[in-house]
């Protein structure tokens, strides 16, 4: 996804609002999850959203997302946002996060998702790390419910 940072999306410093970055991130990740599941999906969690460099008014933000890991009904999607100054071509890593989505059936209940089959070294690394994060999220969720 590409988006142009417009004046009404920026603060008094000319930087894009963090909430707008989160909105774009959620939309981009949701599309990857939706395309993988081929079913409606909802956002279940966001892991540690890091704002690394500001995107300025007039910049083009570049959003990239990928399904890293799939469990029974949920998917972890990694998102990376870069901002490009269209006048200079300078690209900065703006933000990153991992989002979890749950697929829903026609009754809006969680439903199974097909597996992914990582092939490249990078895909295998993302899958393995995604599985580790999934297990940590699952444990933390159990602890928070008690």
Contact 118, 126 (CB under 8 A): yes
Share of the chain above pLDDT 70, in %: 100
Q: Is the pLDDT of residue 116 over 90?
A: yes
Residue that has been written with the tokens 């991992």 in this structure: 98
CATH at residue 67: 3.10.129.10
Could you list the beta-strand ranges (E) of the chain.
2-4, 41-51, 60-70, 74-84, 91-103
**Domain span including residue 14:** 2-145
Determine the average pLDDT of the residues in 103-130: 96
Q: Is the pLDDT of residue 142 over 90?
A: no
- Give the pLDDT band (50/70/90) at residue 130: very high
What is this structure's pTM? 0.91
Domains held by the chain: number: 1
Q: Is the pLDDT of residue 145 over 90?
A: no
pLDDT computed for residue 132 by the predictor: 96
pLDDT computed for residue 33 by the predictor: 98
pLDDT in tens, 3-46: 999 999 999 999 999 999 999 999 999 999 999 999 999 999 99
Give the three-state DSSP class for 53.
Answer: coil
Contact 14, 56 (CB under 8 A): yes
Give the three-state DSSP class for 105.
Answer: coil
Please provide the average confidence, as pLDDT, over all residues in the chain. 96
pLDDT in tens, 33-84: 999 999 999 999 999 898 999 999 999 999 999 999 999 999 999 999 999 9
């Amino acid at each position: 996804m590409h988006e142009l940072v417009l004046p009404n999306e920026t603060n008094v410093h000319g930087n894009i609002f963090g909430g707008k970055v989160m909105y774009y991130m959620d939309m981009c990740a949701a599309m990857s999850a939706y395309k993988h599941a081929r079913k409606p999906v909802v956002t279940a969690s966001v892991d540690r959203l890091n704002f690394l460099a500001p995107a300025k008014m007039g910049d083009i933000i570049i959003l990239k997302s990928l399904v890293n890991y799939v469990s029974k009904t949920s998917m972890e999607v990694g998102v990376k946002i870069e901002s490009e100054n269209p006048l200079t071509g300078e690209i900065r890593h703006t933000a990153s996060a991992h989002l979890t989505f749950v697929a829903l059936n026609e009754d809006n209940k969680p439903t199974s998702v097909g597996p992914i089959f990582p092939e490249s070294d990078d895909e295998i690394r993302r899958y393995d790390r995604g599985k580790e994060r999934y297990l940590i999220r699952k444990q933390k969720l159990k602890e928070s419910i008690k």
